[in-house]
Structure 1
Amino acid sequence: MSLAKLAREIGITRGAVAQWERVPAERMVDVSRVTGIPLPMLRPDLFHIESAE
């Protein structure tokens, strides 16, 4: 997905998206909804995932 399309879908400017080093916490739900990427994959630093061992 292009930056322009993502920005349009979540209602912000392409320039704002381009400045992100990582998805801001307040935008995670919108980005996940639009892209289909699960929240823990967008920001693994905010989620603790237990291993199934």
Structure 2
Amino acid sequence: MNTNYPALEKAIKIAGAQTKLSKAIGSSQQNISYWLRTGKVAPDKVILIEKATGVSRYELRPDIYPSEESKQAA
């Protein structure tokens, strides 16, 4: 994999493959592939990916879940 979405790539690597991640979160492999292309995980799947892989919601969707540092700076 070589996309512009390192957080999702990290989650896929931890899960073992796109298909394994998709099964862990109740989605399809096609959705995982789409998210890699678009650079955005569906909002309703972010927490599930975090629970399944340990990749933080802040890494996966910083537009929805800003880091603590970002919140304090605002």
TM-score, reference length from structure 1:
0.76
Q: Which string of whole-angstrom CA distances, capped at 9 and with x for unpartnered residues, describes residues 1-53 of structure 1?
A: 2111100111221112111121111111101111101111111112333268x
Q: How many residues align?
A: 53
**13-22 or 29-38, which deviates more:** 13-22
Greater fraction helix: 2
Q: Partner letter of residue 13 of structure 1?
A: S
**Identical pairs, percent:** 27
- RMSD across aligned positions (CA): 2.0
1:38 aligns with 2:62: no
Change (3 A) 1:46 1:4: same
Where does structure 2 lack aligned partners over 5 or more consecutive residues?
1-12
- TM-score under structure 2 length normalisation: 0.59
CA change 1:48–1:3 in 2 (3 A) is same
Q: What is the aligned partner in structure 1 of residue 31 from structure 2?
A: 16
Helix, strand or coil for the counterpart of 1:6?
Answer: helix
Segments of 4+ in structure 1 off by > 2 A? 47-52
Task: Mark the runs of 5 or more structure 1 residues left unpaired by the alignment.
Answer: none
